[in-house]
Amino acid sequence: MTLALPPVAIIGVGNMGGGMARNLLAKGVAVHVCDIDADKTQALHALGARVAACPAQLASVAALYIVGVVTAAQVNDVLWGEQGLACTLQHGDTVMLCPTMAPEDTEAVAARLAGQGVATLDAPMSGGPQRATLGTMSLMVAGADAVFERHHAVLKALADPVFRISERVGDGARTKLVNNLLAGINLVGAAEALALAERMGLDGGRTLQVMAASSAQSWIASDRMPRALAGDWAPRAHMTLLEKDTGLAQQMALKAGYVGPLGPGAAAVFAQASAAGFAELDDAAVLRHLRAPG
């Protein structure tokens, strides 16, 4: 399939950003990439991507610049750090922010870009690297209607579904944190249930089959727990990501004046698992953490 779409630039081509790049390249879209990891950019270069040594070298190559790094600090660095992208952006360009960030950080970046005449799409993503590569991940998009419509074809090439959240930048970030809070709660709950089942001598795999076909089913449990039971801890999504996201969700909740019964506990479990030495493992290793005698 070849799509008649304008070139796209992606800064940060790790698991999700790399998946987006491969998806677009497979659809015949010209893709420019930049990442501090040369192995990642060279792998995409072999597929036809054009590689920039630094964000500033992406000047004028696209109208849509996708930022796919992990943290707000990294977003600010790739935009306004040494050899950052922002100094090269033109009036009318658009930056699409895909990291999971605090809403106020997203709003601050958007306000600073607006001062340069650059639009922002607040568009966190979800679904994992495989779905990013297939174009079946989800995007939660907030931003001005005109900007959304201008880039709608690219958004549809990147994701299915594309959720139109609102015109208020920051609402994409809010939606993603609410989503990831529930994902974290579900993952901790599934790991706790399996750890208990194993402690009682039940077969974990058989128990998971029951959960997956019954009232306990959740997508994240069905995705993560099979590899956890197999002892596969290779990181698709590092433990630190849900530690970060559930922590940000708790900060957001406190600012909204809300303290829930489950979120703080789930956030604490991910923080404890990271501190226990599982930070660089897949977040499925929360089962390994909860198996420990306690």
Residues 107-125 pLDDT 10s: 999 999 999 999 999 999 9
Single out the residue of 67, 110, 63, 112 nearest to residue 91, CA to CA.
Answer: 63
Count of alpha carbons within 13 angstroms of residue 240, beta-carbon side: 8
Show the tokens assigned to 128.
């994992």
What average pLDDT does the segment 227-249 reach?
96
What average pLDDT does the segment 278-291 reach?
98
Per-residue CA distances from 245 to 34, 184, 224 (Å): 24, 9, 17
Each residue of 142-174: pLDDT tens digit? 999 999 999 999 999 999 999 999 999 999 999
Each residue of 179-191: pLDDT tens digit? 999 999 999 999 9
Q: Flag whether pLDDT at 1 surpasses 80.
A: no
Share of the chain above pLDDT 90, in %: 96
156 is catalytic: no
Confidence of residue 105 (pLDDT cuts 50, 70, 90): very high
Q: Flag whether pLDDT at 293 surpasses 80.
A: no
Contact 173, 180 (CB under 8 A): no
Per-position DSSP letters for the chain, written without gaps between them: -------EEEE--SHHHHHHHHHHHHTT--EEEE-S-HHHHHHHHTTT-EE-SSGGGGTTS-SEEEE--SSHHHHHHHHHSTT-SGGG--TT-EEEE-S---HHHHHHHHHHHHTTT-EEEE--EES-HHHHHHT-EEEEEES-HHHHHHTHHHHHHHEEEEEEEESSTTHHHHHHHHHHHHHHHHHHHHHHHHHHHHHTT--HHHHHHHHHTSTT--HHHHHHHHHHHTT----SSBHHHHHHHHHHHHHHHHHTT---SSHHHHHHHHHHHIIIIITTSBGGGHHHHHHS--
Q: Flag whether pLDDT at 292 surpasses 90.
A: no
- The pTM for the full model equals 0.94
Confidence of residue 11 (pLDDT cuts 50, 70, 90): very high
What is the per-residue pLDDT for 74?
A: 97
Catalytic residue among 156, 176, 244, 255: 176
Each residue of 46-101: pLDDT tens digit? 999 999 999 999 999 998 999 999 999 999 999 999 999 999 999 999 999 999 99
Q: Flag whether pLDDT at 26 surpasses 60.
A: yes
Q: Flag whether pLDDT at 294 surpasses 60.
A: no
Q: In order of start, what are the domains of the chain with their CATH numbers?
A: 8-167 (3.40.50.720), 174-291 (1.10.1040.10)
